Structure formats: C-alpha cells, structure tokens
Structure 1
Amino acid sequence: MAGIHVLVEKPMTKSIKEAMELFEIADKKGLTLHVGHVERFNGAVHELKKIVDNPLFIECRRLGPYDSRIQDDGVVVDLMIHDIDIILSLVNSKVKRLNVVGNSIFSDKDDLCNVQMEFENGCIANITASRVTQHKIRTLAITQKDKYIFLDYSNQDIHIHRQASSEHFLTRQELRYKQESFTERIFVHRDNPLKLELNHLIDCAINGAERMVPADEEIYSLQIALEVLDKFKKQKNSQR
C-alpha cells in the first residue's frame, strides 16, 4: 500500500492476523482499505436496516449454478461471506455457536454449505450457499415478534408481512379461528450496488469520508467465515 487507496475483493486475506496487519498499515498511512462487500450498498439492505430491530430468526439463501471459472475458492468465502456480513450487521450480539454441514460436488472445495449460527442473545440464523443449484436465488428472510420481512437482493425488493387481527367465532357446527394479515412493500431506491460502492471508495479517498464499514466489523465477518470454512474442512476430512 505505497500511498494508494485500495479496494480488495473478499476474502481480503486467508487469516485474521494478515487482515489486522493490512488495516493497521492503512491506518498509519492515512489510506482507505475497503473490502468488497457489495451487498452493503444494495438499496434493499439500506432500507432493511431501518426496519429491523430485534430479529429472532434469519434465513439466507444464496444459490446458483456452478461456474468452472471460479477455481480458487468455494462458496463460503465467495458467496456466503456476503450473508455473514449482513447478518452480523443486523444482530447486535456475538456468535455463540456454529453448526456446519456441506459437500464437495463439482470440485474439491465447498460447493454446497449450510450453517446455523446461534447468537448470545438467542437469535438464530440459517445460511445456505450453493453453486450446484440450477436457479439463481439471493434472498434473506427475518422473523421478528411482530413481523416477517422478506428481501430479494437481485430485485432489490422488501416485503413486510404483519398480523392485523385474529379472532374466534362460533358457527352452528364448531368454533373457528380466523387470522388476518397484510403485506407492505417497502420503497427501495434501486441503483447499481457496485457503482455505489466505488463512489463511496472515491469519497473516502478524495474527501476523507468515514468508511461505511468499520475495520473491526470487516475483521469479525472474515473471522466467522474462516471458522465456517475450517469446520467444513474438518467435517469433510472426518468422512474420508
């Protein structure tokens, strides 16, 4: 980093120690080191953070077909890390436990992986990343006590499902239960997330704007992703 502001693709490094060293160098030199978590700049994610307050359960699916051009990494650090990063930014708690299962299908790496994350505050997140699915899906769903939120990354859409009322009523034959709900579609300003990310980097580099994602959050996302990958490798080795 010889006097140059840097946008580095994820995963930024293969270890936490290396990541911390890079951020320390950038800080000492007064440079911007930005990690390419492009979903942070998705308009739907921007609106999501305004309406999420106490998530109980989060489910993410990031699925798609196999691309033989991607040889270096599996789905954990290529795809799942996006969802890990978003989830950690939404849940105000540390991860307590990780349960990981997965499989290698088209390569010797993690082509399919499912993770259950348990947080200290009781929230549970379930993440599935796949490059063996013949249909591209990028979704996130959040269950809260008073609403269910569904986000589509690709369409930059958010829908909120709320319970309106419930009642019991008596007919001649039986006691019945009726529950009503309504769906609200949130307005999202749609723009190209990559363009917004690059504009943010330029703003930081030229105008000294504060980075949207603090270094400690970048490092924690990487830490969890590397722990998931390590658990996947141990599971795979135990099956041999």
Structure 2
Amino acid sequence: MGLRVGVAGIGKLGREHVRVFKGFDEVDFIGCYDLIEERALQASKDFGATTFSTVQELIDAVDAVSVVVPSTKHAEVAVAALEAGKDVFLEKPIASDVRAAERIVDATQRHQRILQMGHIERFNSAFEAAFPFIQDPSFIEIHRLAPFAARGIDVSVATDLMIHDLDILLLLLKRWPEDIRAKGAGILTTGPDIINARLEFANGCVANLTSSRVSVEPMRKIRVFSPNRYLSIDLFRRRVKRYEKGEKFKEGVARLKELEGSPGVIDLSEFLTIEEFETHGDEPLAKELKTFCRSVLTRKPPPVTGEDGLNALKLAEAVLDKIERESTTL
C-alpha cells in the first residue's frame, strides 16, 4: 500500500491536485471532499475517486491531505487534520489572517507533522534555473498581472497573487524590509485588486512589486539587477535571459565615454555574456506535490514550510496595512 492521500476542496485547483496525485506511483489516492457535493461527485466520476460526505471522514481515511478549500477555511481544515496526526499540503495563502496562520503553525509543531505550503513559483523551472545566478541583488522588479476571475476574491490581491512574490523576496533576501510603501485600488471587489509596493531592505536592495487581477493580458516576470549581472525571468513562458559583465566590460564603458555626444554606436553585446533559454521539465504543481510526498515518506522538512507561509502572509498584511494607513491620511 502506498501513501494514502486525499484532497479537501474540489474547485478548479483542487481538481488539478486530484489529477496529479492519481498519477503518482507512490500514492494510494483515497478520495476527495467538497462542501459542494456535486463537485466531489464529478471528480469521483472523472478520476475514479471516492467521495466523502464530511471533511473529517476524509481526514480519518488518509495519511496526508491536500487542503485546497477557500483560504477562510484553511485553519479549520488544516488544524483538524494536524490534530488527527495527518500531514498537510496547504495551498497559499496559509490562511486569511495571521492569527489563523499562527494556529496552523502551532498545531504543526505540537503534533510534529509535515506541513508544506503551496508557493508554486518556487517550483517553476524558470525560477529554478535562474536561482543559482541570483547573488547580492541591488534591485528587484516583479510584475504579476492576471485577468479577473471569480476564484480567490475572498481575499485581496496581496494575499491572492502578490504573496507569491513576497515569498520569493523573503527567500532571496532572507530578511524583513526596513521600509514599505504601497498604493492599491479596488476595481471590481471591495479590497485592492491592483497594488504597487516598494520595499527597501537593510542591505540596500530595493524591490518594486506590481500585482493586478484586473489586467487584460497575463504576465509573471521577475527582473533582478546585481552589480555584475541582470536576469529576466519569465515565469509565464518559463524563459530566462541572463546578461553578465564580460572580461572586456570596462573597456566597453571607456569606449562609450569616448563616444559621448558623438553619433557613434557600440554594440554592448561585445562586452557582455548574454544567454537566453527556455526551460523544461515537469509541471510545477507535480513537482511540489511530489516533494510533499517525499517529505512525508522520509520525514524530512519540506522546502516550503508553514513558517515560510506565515512570513509571506505577515508581509502581505504589512503591505495592506500601509495602503490603508496612507489612504486615511489623504
């Protein structure tokens, strides 16, 4: 018998979890639960999964559960599973507020369970390929734009979309920002649907983040500027561009100064190492769920912990607090 896994929450993303788990040889997929019974029944029909009438019945039948319910229900379902001695994969955000997130982290520690957060961009092949080249960033710019969808509107765009990029920032810089400036606007919901945030860190790095869920065209792009390197990471198309100072870079700069004010042109590619490539590999969701199963089976800590999810949520709330405080002073 393999690792017994179930999925709680069978919306669009929950169905993808079922599909992926059903393809793992090491997993004995037990079944699924959804508050809307028709969803669970449809998943049962489409994937050959058992349907449970309550989330507790599902929890009792498995070794590990993937929680893909609305974020306002994350603490209720995740804590129930953890207290029952089950390991949990939890989609982002960890919870709808910090207090609920702290309950989840506390339950994980008290019951010594595995809790992995679903910050999927860490498993994007473009980010994985670029990560080793990200050293001492001076400036980071991230755009995450998406067309409007009914999914996720129970939370603001900060905890729906921007939280991916806040998690990446904390991973790269391993410190809390010293200063946060942010503006946001609600377009189609009562909370901010588009946010721009500027975060300044003690090491001198500045990060500029823009997240929108009311855009026409999707974009998920990270640009990282370092003293000797520039990286453009297209998470949507999984492409990476790397520009690095070559051995003759100083010579190129000197020639540019000589040509200042003249019509002469220099091709800087002569003085830069330029690499552009597409990345391939398994889909990010399959990689992160495979990693979760491996952590459960080996009892080794997952790469994205509950503490990581909590810190990303705290930073998202700090951005939202800054927006609210600045709007009240206008």
- What TM-score results when the alignment is normalised by the length of structure 2? 0.66
216 and 71 in structure 1: CA distance in 2 versus 1, 3 angstrom threshold: closer
- Aligned pairs (5 A) from 1:132-211: 132-164=214-246, 165=249, 166=252, 167-168=254-255, 176=264, 178=266, 180-181=268-269, 182=272, 183-186=274-277, 188-211=279-302
**2:27 maps to which residue?**
none
Distance 1:192 1:21 in 2: 31
Unaligned runs of 5+ in 2: 1-81
Contact kept, 8 Å, 1:93 with 1:121, in 2: the verdict is no
Contact kept, 8 Å, 1:43 with 1:156, in 2: the verdict is yes
1:179 Cα deviation after fit: 5.3
Does structure 1 residue 45 correspond to structure 2 residue 124? no
Listed one character per residue, the Cα deviations across residues 174-198 of structure 1 (whole Å, up to 9, x for unaligned) are 5957351342125634321111111
**1:19 maps to which residue?**
101
Does structure 1 residue 217 correspond to structure 2 residue 295? no
Match of residue 71, structure 1, among 131, 147, 153: 153
Distance 2:223 2:172 in 1: 12
SS in 1 for 2:178: strand
Distance 1:236 1:104 in 2: 12
The structure with the greater share of residues assigned to helix is: 2
Moved over 4 A (4+): 173-177, 236-239
Does structure 1 residue 108 correspond to structure 2 residue 108? no
* Counterpart amino acid of residue 101 in structure 2: A
Listed one character per residue, the Cα deviations across residues 199-239 of structure 1 (whole Å, up to 9, x for unaligned) are 11111112213210244333221211111122223344556
**2:118 maps to which residue?**
36
* Counterpart amino acid of residue 138 in structure 1: R
The structure with the greater share of residues assigned to strand is: 1
Contact kept, 8 Å, 1:43 with 1:190, in 2: the verdict is yes
1:89 Cα deviation after fit: 0.7
Listed one character per residue, the Cα deviations across residues 24-77 of structure 1 (whole Å, up to 9, x for unaligned) are 321232211122111111112222221111100000000021113443012100
Match of residue 62, structure 1, among 144, 149, 152: 144
SS in 2 for 1:162: strand
**1:99 maps to which residue?**
181
Unaligned runs of 5+ in 1: none
SS in 2 for 1:26: helix
* Counterpart amino acid of residue 196 in structure 2: N
- Identity in percent: 29
Contact kept, 8 Å, 1:168 with 1:175, in 2: the verdict is no
Distance 1:116 1:66 in 2: 24
Contact kept, 8 Å, 2:140 with 2:224, in 1: the verdict is yes
Distance 1:206 1:5 in 2: 10
Contact kept, 8 Å, 2:231 with 2:240, in 1: the verdict is yes
User: What number of residue pairs does the alignment pair up?
Assistant: 238
**2:166 maps to which residue?**
84
Report the structure number with the largest CA radius of gyration.
2
* Counterpart amino acid of residue 208 in structure 1: R
Does structure 1 residue 232 correspond to structure 2 residue 323? yes
Distance 2:293 2:112 in 1: 14
User: Which deviates more, 197-206 or 180-189?
Assistant: 180-189
* Counterpart amino acid of residue 201 in structure 1: F
User: Which deviates more, 174-183 or 225-234?
Assistant: 174-183
Q: CA RMSD in A?
A: 2.3
Higher relative contact order (Cα pairs below 8 Å, separated by 6+ residues): 1
Does structure 1 residue 121 correspond to structure 2 residue 203? yes
* Counterpart amino acid of residue 153 in structure 2: Q
1:141 Cα deviation after fit: 0.2
* Counterpart amino acid of residue 159 in structure 1: K
147 and 202 in structure 1: CA distance in 2 versus 1, 3 angstrom threshold: same
